[in-house]
């Protein structure tokens, strides 16, 4: 996983509900992942427009790590649900009213492939005209909408696990946003990086984002394949737009954190129950 | 890409329309990919049930290659659309009546994240109860539905590109189907591999599948990470259910074929047009 | 089944596609069935408004027979698909372009719970305000839309199996339409049966409907329970609006026809295959 | 109605919201009803596979009773909404935040054809391949998902009306789950009843379920038609898997309880208002 | 805007959530607007049925003003969100649990084109058979459902801004309901205005509606074009059904109120931020 | 109506099906209309950012005329359906296989509020962050996607009615695209009009568009209100990007053409039938 997340001591279903938007909302990580994946599959003349292909396919690879990161965040935010319920019966009644009852009914307190109001993610969210200029313009818009979404969720919850993750995504999403602006400029001859930041507030103003900027994450493009995506640096070069520091292609993925080992939940039979679990649950159900 | 695909000499929009079901239908590769991805993200007690986690996460990795494979198939089936139109005006009018006009309108003759009737793929297709036995049962059912789907599409088109890909997926999907049956049996103590094949016809009866069986693809579980998924062989062992040959974990992904370099389509401005293209298109539009 | 259907000698996928609208379109039989079912479940003060409850619940019971009838029609229209394909390979390629590929992919040539363009039926089609006057007004409108739908499908196909069924439904739907008009008039004191027919053409003008009128089906309200719905006749009385003949409550369901024993389809493994089937299919697949 | 439900003294909108999942969620009673209904309509070779047809069609008949039961539960849970509001103005403001505002806006405090988050039930939830082995495997999975859903809702609410109903459905759903396992075993020669229970907890551990087990409801298959479904006992025989007691086909439906006569709600004009009602409502609206 | 709305001093997210139903619910103003718009576009023989065309097209014009009115209501109900949050961090956490998180995530505290549970409005809500009698019957039903919806939302919130708007819409919607009843009667020769009011309570009983009746708004049909819709008075004549006062066609739109100038929200960068805003926000984000 | 359309002599259901994309596809006129409408409703600080408000609200007004124009195009393309059927029975069987059976079933051969594959238009297509820079960026992208869509439909049909309309929309859509580029540049200080044209082909290359350019339609911004939108010229000034001619604000709407008087269709009872119609239809139904 790309960063370490703190382990919360309490469940925060409202935060989990809001964070879902960053997974499966129209501007969540499923959308960025799938837009770039389908665009890379369908791109014509890959050999002629190699740097653009490399950019899009490589960012898709990073986005896969982002859905993992959001997933772990949601899981951690719900991991203490039974402990937070503190013996109350019924323990899952917090599940109604969060806008995402599927967390509690069908997903075993895990993340869902959908957004903040429980709307499923849909392939309708993928745009891929085949026209490179238009697709790059779309991607720049998509990342701008995604940046707005992250900021809005940041304003909905101050849960430290959520904000740690959002801070990181603001920085990395900012790189993608800037990369598409740069690529569109290279293709068309019109520099549009001057539009940044969209929305008009620097990532440096978010404390949870600034610490990642301080590590340089705002100017790195990680290359996610040892053998491919070698022409990334034909696009990702020059100076990062806010700090003026040099943009840099880094070979290999970011050093990351541990994937959290989520607590088994006997009461949900997740992953499954043994004899002692059954006895304990039976006692509770009989209350 | 996991196999080589022949390069067709004619567009086959009906075949492309049908093959889409294997991408984004309820039982298509997007569904297998996303079910296993979310199940691996959300799995509790990963350290306690490691072999099952390894199996599900590793199959997810293979499915990512499968969506690439289906995508390239659809792209190849539509790659000669203008050539097949043979100068007719308008060249894209074949796009209505295929059930998937989005191929022609919004995706530049590329694959869409949806199924045979143009229905978008949706996160509703993901099942993830958190209960391991139930999730394995689901996965076994899902692969069985997917095998049925492949056979049905095989009966809808005899296009050789389509059948090459379907033959391969029948064999690899059969491995996944059998692996989930084996895993469910190991967990529960009830051997259900005797249910296979579902549906009741051996993959050996499909010539396009048999050739991959002859290479042993029906008994290999590829390990898609050099560092992870090391406990696969605790589940994938014993004898393949139809041939009795030994099941085998193979380190590393399958050797594959070249990703086809799709023909640029100036008339769709895909990936983009230069001066000469514009002149040529302008002439046609004026006709 | 409420009537006998002729057994077609050829498959007619286009007719099957159109007839689906009468199953699962917004004004199809699933909608009438489910509207009246939920209205009867949710009705308040059942003891105070018994005749209205009896009417709605009883019509719901008849609609259940109608979905069976439409289902058998679709099944018969597709029953000869392999025979009509006449040995062609691939035999199911007729499945694309009908608007309902799910018939061929996921439903084994059976009916689907959806409409003419493959849209799934949805609970959004149910209206149930709890206000009796408004619900009756809705039901009168719903039956009027349903009558329009039947006439439109009648104009889309002249397949004799389809028209036999449609003719019957025009007559029975006409009874329901008139019954809701009558009930609304009784409740409100405003006779609206004068609006009939909607649309403005007598059922007598449809030869396939007229023969059922000649049997009196346009004036019978069948009582579908031996013990319940005893107050039907408080509403269903007086004169049928077009012919002036007496409306009549008939105890018991209509005498009907045989449910057709649909041909097994070894090529689809439906219901399942035996040894000989496999051999035959294997031969075909290898061609 | 198949059982008696206690009459609650207070409205419990949260419980009503959760219970809706058992009506119209993906694994709710609408889904089991409609899956088996369409499978029975579309089944080929009914005369050749009669016991399987009888099983599926007969269980469909029982499921119709289950949607009635869930409907009455939801209605009772909301029946005292105005009394619970206790004169507050506005009386329906509890309707936002339950995830199902349609109960209050469009359904007159009645049940909706949808699930816990207000998602409409959809025909997409029906699976019917036509292949008998695959359809039975699906049905076994569907009942397993449904059992999980019931247990989860049980953990979301301890409302006694809700739990009475859920306890009953756990037992009856368990019979259906076991019946499909048995049928699949008979067809394929592989006994999979050893997988039960899924999830891994006996129904006996739920006090609200155990009382129905004590009456033998876990081993009875009710035959819902005096004239049909005569070959049920070719499948439903042997020993119930948890208790070892004999499985038994019972002629006729279960003895049941009274359908509750839901309180008229003048404030909602449901079913309609008379002069006095209007005066009273007018006074309140003017406050 | 057609009326003046009071300016609230506090945000009321629950009221905003409920009022959304009147914008984009199945019976909200988007539905009436779009039904009449499409019916007027598609109407055949406009020259032969001019008064009906004029009626439908003219009411469509008024409905456009109604979506503006509902939009401003929702906006006002959320306009003080930050002030009501009173410095709390995070300020938007009220956004979860209202059923409409999109207000807070994607719409900048503005209205959404959807209903009370965040369901998007859809073109499925438009009915347009082309048969004039049936379309008028539909429109009468639609307005009746819409009147029910307004009354239900009135019972969900007593927020004075919301009720001011609802009172107005009850009166104007009542005019449309009566006009379609009158038109259907003129076309068919069956007077159905006697069905009114549906539901059975006079608008006079709602204090917020009565004041608009006192101004005569219940008997005016505004003519929204100086040059068109000249045959309105062939339908809109006679006596208003509840008061017996004369129906009257008024040339020109209603005199209205000011469109409120919504407060800029620097914290949402809406419409955009300047230097001072950024400084202030940055300080808050760092807290 | 903004232009005159030629009256076709033959029905062209395939063209009608494709043109629907320009009505209700994701990038069709319903989307541009509703995006700008909701953005104008929800815009904060209207008095501070008046020119931007004027621009968006004024373009919304023009888009309303565009949905009328697309509607009439579809209607004309289907107006001769019965004549083209030439007495064939059944006359509507052309309705299956066009991807839009609703034209024939539920809309009386009129336009539907949906796209090329019959997908209903949905409020999900509206983006409105409240952040002005982001909304303008979106609108520029939306118009670019819309321009692509028009060009693609142009390549799907050479029907002269369709192309007349598309040519006009290419020019007017081009004005909107350029206006949003100009506005975004004014707001941000970064001129992005150099990106035009997107896609990379001049409107002058389309003969059906060029004739409208020759009339100057590519450089006019019509002001759709005599009293409002007075600050349009603060944005719409300077030189049109392709021709260098001066941009100009024109007071008042474009001079237009006649709304076609669509042929009554007795066979569809549209708008309704008289005695003679009924006799004629009855005769046909009996054939």
φ/ψ of D212, rounded to 5, equals -80, -30
- Does the N-terminal peptide bond of residue B90 adopt cis geometry, omega within 30 degrees of 0? yes
3 state DSSP class of A224? coil
On whether the CB atoms of residues E15 and E162 are closer than 8 A, the answer is yes
Q: Do chains E and F touch (3 or more CB pairs under 8 A)?
A: yes
What is the rounded distance in angstroms from the CA atom of residue D23 to the CA atom of residue C179? 29
pLDDT tier at B231, thresholds 50, 70, 90: very high
H or E element at residue D280: helix D275-285
- Of the candidates E30, E29, E53, which has an alpha carbon nearest to the alpha carbon of residue E41? E53
Which chains have at least 3 CB atom pairs separated by less than 8 Å from chain A?
B, D, E, F
Question: E38, E41, E75, E82: best mutation site toward chain F, by most F Cβ within 10 Å?
Answer: E41
Contact D268 E152 (CB under 8 A): yes
What is the rounded distance in angstroms from the CA atom of residue C249 to the CA atom of residue C235? 10
On whether the CB atoms of residues D16 and D100 are closer than 8 A, the answer is yes
What is the rounded distance in angstroms from the CA atom of residue C246 to the CA atom of residue C237? 7
* Cβ-nearest to E89 among A153, A158, A206: A158
Question: B141, B150, B173, B197: best mutation site toward chain D, by most D Cβ within 10 Å?
Answer: B141
Strand A220-223 versus strand A248-251 pairing type: parallel
Contact C106 B207 (CB under 8 A): no
pLDDT over 70 at C170, yes or no: yes
What is the rounded distance in angstroms from the CA atom of residue B134 to the CA atom of residue A13? 25
- What are the residues whose beta carbons fall under 8 Å from the beta carbon of A283, sequence distance 6 or more? none
Considering only A24-33, A94-103, C116-125, which range has the smallest mean pLDDT? A94-103
Burial code (b: 16+ CB inside 10 Å, e: under 16) for A126-164 equals bbbbbbbbbbbbbbbbbbbbbbbbbbbbbbbbbbebbbb
Chain D nearest C-alpha distance from E97 (Å): 6
Between these two residues, A166 and B84, which has the higher pLDDT value?
A166
Alpha helices in B196-272 (DSSP H): 207-214
- Of the candidates A274, D203, A24, A262, which has an alpha carbon nearest to the alpha carbon of residue B130? A262
What is the rounded distance in angstroms from the CA atom of residue F94 to the CA atom of residue F14? 10
Cβ neighbours of B138 in D, within 8 Å: 141, 145
Query: For E116-131, how does the pLDDT look when each residue is reduced to its tens digit (9 = 90+)?
Result: 988 999 999 999 999 9
Alpha helices in F189-274 (DSSP H): 207-214
* Cβ-nearest to E116 among D101, D267, D268: D101
Query: For E56-111, how does the pLDDT look when each residue is reduced to its tens digit (9 = 90+)?
Result: 999 999 999 999 999 999 999 999 998 888 877 788 888 877 889 999 999 999 99
- CA dist C210 → B135, B273, C166 (Å): 55, 63, 11
pLDDT at A95: 85
- Does the N-terminal peptide bond of residue E90 adopt cis geometry, omega within 30 degrees of 0? yes
Size of interface C-F (CB pairs under 8 A): 80
Strand F248-251 versus strand F220-223 pairing type: parallel
% of chain E with per-residue pLDDT over 90? 81
Q: What is the SS3 string spanning C162-224?
A: HHHHHHHHHHHHHHHHHHHHHHHHHHHCCCCHHHCCCCCCCHHHCHHHHHHHHCCCCCEEEEC
Strands (E), E117-252: 220-223, 248-251
Strands (E), chain A: 220-223, 248-251
Q: Do chains B and E touch (3 or more CB pairs under 8 A)?
A: no
pLDDT in tens, chain D (287 residues): 889 999 999 999 999 999 999 999 999 999 999 999 999 999 999 999 999 999 999 999 999 999 999 999 999 999 999 888 888 778 888 888 788 999 999 999 999 999 998 899 999 999 999 999 999 999 999 999 999 999 999 999 999 999 999 999 999 999 999 999 999 999 999 999 999 999 999 999 999 999 999 999 999 999 999 899 999 999 999 999 999 999 999 999 998 888 999 999 888 888 887 777 777 777 777 65
Rg (CA), chain C: 21
On whether the CB atoms of residues B127 and A138 are closer than 8 A, the answer is no
Q: What is the average per-residue pLDDT within B95-118?
A: 91
pLDDT tier at E287, thresholds 50, 70, 90: low
On whether the CB atoms of residues B143 and B177 are closer than 8 A, the answer is yes
Cβ neighbours of F68 in E, within 8 Å: 41
ipTM of the shown complex: 0.96
Contact F116 B99 (CB under 8 A): no
> DSSP states of E91-145 as a string?
TTGGGTTSS-THHHHTSTT---SB-TTSPBPBGGG----S-HHHHHHHHHHHHHH
Query: For F111-165, how does the pLDDT look when each residue is reduced to its tens digit (9 = 90+)?
Result: 999 999 889 999 999 999 999 999 999 999 999 999 999 999 999 999 999 999 9
Strands (E), chain E: 220-223, 248-251
pLDDT over 60 at C30, yes or no: yes
pLDDT at D255: 87
Residues of B with CB under 8 A from a CB of D: 26, 124, 127, 129, 131, 133-134, 137-138, 140-141, 144-145, 148, 184, 188-192, 194-195, 198-200
pLDDT at B138: 98
Query: For C192-220, how does the pLDDT look when each residue is reduced to its tens digit (9 = 90+)?
Result: 999 999 999 999 999 999 999 999 999 99
Cβ neighbours of D124 in C, within 8 Å: 120
| A25: closest chain F residue by CA | F124
pLDDT at C287: 56
Mean pLDDT of chain B: 94
Which DSSP state fits A120? B
pLDDT at C146: 98
- CA dist A126 → A54, E31, E102, E106 (Å): 19, 28, 20, 18
Query: For F84-111, how does the pLDDT look when each residue is reduced to its tens digit (9 = 90+)?
Result: 888 877 888 888 778 899 999 999 999 9
Chain A nearest C-alpha distance from B49 (Å): 8
Between these two residues, F283 and F214, which has the higher pLDDT value?
F214
- Of the candidates E285, E231, E265, E278, which has an alpha carbon nearest to the alpha carbon of residue E81? E265
Chain B nearest C-alpha distance from A34 (Å): 8
pLDDT at B11: 95
Query: For D208-258, how does the pLDDT look when each residue is reduced to its tens digit (9 = 90+)?
Result: 999 999 999 999 999 999 899 999 999 999 999 999 999 999 999 998 888
pLDDT tier at F287, thresholds 50, 70, 90: low
pLDDT over 90 at A89, yes or no: no
- What are the residues whose beta carbons fall under 8 Å from the beta carbon of F107, sequence distance 6 or more? E38, E42, E128, E129, E130
Return the number of other C-beta atoms located less than 10 Å from residue F244's C-beta. 9
- What are the residues whose beta carbons fall under 8 Å from the beta carbon of C276, sequence distance 6 or more? none
3 state DSSP class of D216? coil
Cβ neighbours of B259 in A, within 8 Å: 46
Contact A130 B37 (CB under 8 A): no
Centroid of chain to Cα C175:
13
Between these two residues, A281 and B106, which has the higher pLDDT value?
B106
| A109: closest chain D residue by CA | D152
3 state DSSP class of F128? coil
- Does the N-terminal peptide bond of residue E70 adopt cis geometry, omega within 30 degrees of 0? no
pLDDT at D287: 57
Contact A133 F188 (CB under 8 A): no
On whether the CB atoms of residues A11 and A79 are closer than 8 A, the answer is yes
Chain A nearest C-alpha distance from E91 (Å): 6
Cβ neighbours of E140 in C, within 8 Å: 137
Cβ neighbours of E99 in D, within 8 Å: 96-97, 99, 101
């Amino acid at each position: 996983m790309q960063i370490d997340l703190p382990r919360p001591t309490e469940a925060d279903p409202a935060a989990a509900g809001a964070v879902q938007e960053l997974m499966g909302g129209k501007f969540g990580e499923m959308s960025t992942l799938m837009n770039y994946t389908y665009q890379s599959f369908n791109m014509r003349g890959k050999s002629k427009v190699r740097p653009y292909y490399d950019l899009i396919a490589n960012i898709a690879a990073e986005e896969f790590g982002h859905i993992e990161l959001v997933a772990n965040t949601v899981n951690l935010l719900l991991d203490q649900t039974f402990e937070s319920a503190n013996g109350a019966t019924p323990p899952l009644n917090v599940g109604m009213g969060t806008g995402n009852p599927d967390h509690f009914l069908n997903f075993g307190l895990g993340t869902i492939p959908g957004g903040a109001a429980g709307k499923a993610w849909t392939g309708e969210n993928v745009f891929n005209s085949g026209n490179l200029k238009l697709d790059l313009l779309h991607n720049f818009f998509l990342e701008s909408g995604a940046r707005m979404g992250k900021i809005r969720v940041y304003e909905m919850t101050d849960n430290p696990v959520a904000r740690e993750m959002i801070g990181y995504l603001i920085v990395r999403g900012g790189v993608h946003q800037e990369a598409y602006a740069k690529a569109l400029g290279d293709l068309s001859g019109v520099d549009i990086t001057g539009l940044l930041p969209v929305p008009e507030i620097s990532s440096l103003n978010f404390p949870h984002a600034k610490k990642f900027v301080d590590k340089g994450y705002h100017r790195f493009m990680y290359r996610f394949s040892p053998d491919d995506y070698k022409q990334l640096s034909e696009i990702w070069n020059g100076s990062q737009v806010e700090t003026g520091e040099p943009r840099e292609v880094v070979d290999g993925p970011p050093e990351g954190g541990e994937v959290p080992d989520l607590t088994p939940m006997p009461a949900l039979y997740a992953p499954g129950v043994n004899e002692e679990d059954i006895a304990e649950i039976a006692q509770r159900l009989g209350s």
